Structure 1
Amino acid sequence: MNTVSLSGSLRENVGKKDARKHRRDGNVPCVLYGGKEQIHFIIPERDLTQVIFTPNSYLIALNVDGKEYMAIMQDIQYHPVTDIILHIDFLQIFDDKPLIISVPLRYEGSSKGVLQGGRLVRKYRKLKIKGLINDIPDEIVVNITELAIGDGIKISELKYDDIEFLDKPSSIAVAVKTQRVIVEEEEEEKAEGEGDAAEGDAKDGESPKEGEGKKE
């Protein structure tokens, strides 16, 4: 995996008031877990742009007050209105322990089905995989050259040594379909959604059965 270096400073105090102060100063409160103990620290918000606003997954070489850790970003919490970064969870990783991470899919080649007028339908942008850090690829490359109209590639058909795919094996990662088929599938999904909603409304409107009363 590609590696990005980040430096942070330990937090002297942990709490909401302290966290708000750090944010006002342009820092993001963070926590590193997965090791012997949790480590609370801050990172300048400007330094995080390179690893947050990207579809790629990175291995983080994390320096906190001179101590080095290898980690991945596990979770980012944003403010619901302003989208300001409120908090980041980092997971410490080790060479001998497998980790679970989502990596981007990259489709290469020109599908013959698309050249014949079909449309490429990408079902997944990322896949969840499990493996040792040294075996985790930067991306999963899928060759679509031989995909004709009506063809698809299942997740179970993707072959990579030393990693395990965790998404449903029978799921289609990518397919080539005609516009007519795509429209039909969209209409079916819409009809199913409306049917489920109508069924839910009907249940909500049912009267209590005899002998049933309101719960106090």
Structure 2
Amino acid sequence: MSDYAVLEAAARDRAGKGAARAIRREGGVPGVIYGGGQDAVMLTMDPRVLHARMRKTGFFATQFHVDVAGKKHRVLPKEVQFHPVTDDPIHVDFLRVTDRTRVTVEIPVRFVNEEAAPGLEVGGVLSVVRHTVEVATAAGNIPEEIVVDLTGMEIGDSVRIGSISLPEGVRPTIADRDFMIASIAAPMQIVEDEEEDEEDDEMDVPTVAEDEAAQQDDEDGPAES
């Protein structure tokens, strides 16, 4: 059995909005495990446990064992609903999976060897188009990350999905084009803009006192000789 992280949960015997609200009032997060041709399992989770896991990269592509009353269920997080004001989790759905369950997940992208990219060494900027790539795969074959090697990349070079070696059976869900993941762009030219800003700052701008003096002269009219 694979060594999946364990999420502790308590069983709940009532469904419905009223029961869910009662759980939230008590400080819990209601949830459900479904799929795999088995009955749904209703549960309650500690929000601190959920928060701790969600802060880590790739939460929705990570498999867990959810322990409900001593029975472990192998799952993938499917959906988390959040409160519209507090942004606290208010419900979590888990999909029960096996190695052969077909799933669609977002895989995080990690860039390596930035120091070996000449384009970055001369001041170029890594412009990331996609921090994750959605793929279709069997649950037993989900990659932890997609690694992009920047070695040798110059300004103007780009990385597209077609140049990435994915594990066998893992396919991007966008199949009709060779989409871009990142590129190395030229450094932004901001010197001229800064000089223009400095020139604007140096322009003579009348002070409040000068404006008031000018208005007073207009009201008094020309001085008598």
Deviations 1:43-98 (A, max 9, x none): 11122122112222321111112222111111111011111211011111111222
1:89 and 2:96 aligned: no
1:128 and 2:134 aligned: yes
Cα distance, 1:2 vs. partner?
7.7
The answer to whether the 8 A contact 2:8-2:68 is kept is yes
Partner Cα separation in structure 2 for residue 26 and residue 156 of structure 1: 47
Counterpart pick for 2:180 among 172, 183, 198 = 172
TM-score (norm 2): 0.74
The within-5 A match list for 1:33-72 is 33-36=34-37, 37-57=39-59, 58-72=62-76
Partner Cα separation in structure 2 for residue 90 and residue 2 of structure 1: 18
Higher gyration radius (CA): 2
The within-5 A match list for 1:1-216 is 3-36=4-37, 37-57=39-59, 58-110=62-114, 111-162=117-168, 163-167=170-174, 169-180=177-188
Partner Cα separation in structure 1 for residue 78 and residue 182 of structure 2: 26
CA RMSD of aligned residues (A): 1.9
- Correspondence for 2:196: none
Partner Cα separation in structure 1 for residue 162 and residue 174 of structure 2: 9
The answer to whether the 8 A contact 1:5-1:61 is kept is yes
Partner Cα separation in structure 1 for residue 85 and residue 43 of structure 2: 25
Cα distance, 1:118 vs. partner?
1.1
Structure 2: which amino acid aligns with 1:79?
Answer: H
Partner Cα separation in structure 1 for residue 141 and residue 13 of structure 2: 37
Partner Cα separation in structure 2 for residue 115 and residue 88 of structure 1: 44
Unaligned runs of 5+ in 1: 182-216
TM-score (norm 1): 0.77
The worse-fitting range, judged by mean Cα deviation, of 35-44 and 99-108 is 35-44
Moved segments of 4+, more than 6 Å: none
**Paired residues, number:** 181
